[in-house]
Amino acid sequence: MNENAFYTATMAKVYAGQGYFEKSAKIYRHLLKLEPDRQEFKAALLEVEQKLKAQKEMHPRDLTPLFEKWLDLLLRRRNLQKLKKLQNTTFNRTRKHV
């Protein structure tokens, strides 16, 4: 069966909604070859291509603040676990002496 048989505007929207902008753009381009006057396809393709461009422009350094926050939370969690362990140890020692 021809892969293009499943190329519909709905499928392109689904792909775009899931972040598969390249696949979505491919479908819209195919649909525009079949119906070049469909303004909604042109608008949707433009929107998807803009999102695709933005996605490609994202560099790993853009993720630095997220990694910093993640590391901070990881260290806080580790410290919290240490404090809970210390609290449990202290509590158990206190109970033995009572």
Q: pLDDT grade, residue 2 (50/70/90)?
A: low
Q: Which tokens in the block code for residue 37?
A: 């006057």
Shared-domain flag, residues 46 and 9: yes
Over residues 3-46, the pLDDT tens digits come to: 777 899 999 999 999 989 999 999 999 999 999 999 999 999 99
Shared-domain flag, residues 67 and 41: no
Shared-domain flag, residues 82 and 48: no
The residue whose two tokens read 């996605």 is 55
Contact between 73 and 80 under an 8 Å Cβ cutoff? The reply is no
The CA distance from 80 to 84, in Å, is 6
Q: Which pLDDT score is estimated for 98?
A: 59
Contact between 61 and 42 under an 8 Å Cβ cutoff? The reply is no
The domain total for the chain is: 2
List the one residue out of 13, 11, 19, 18 whose CA is nearest residue 55.
19
Q: Which pLDDT score is estimated for 92?
A: 76
Q: Which pLDDT score is estimated for 38?
A: 96
What is the average pLDDT value for the chain, to the nearest integer? Answer: 88
| Domain span at 3 | 1-58
The CA distance from 42 to 28, in Å, is 8
Shared-domain flag, residues 82 and 47: no
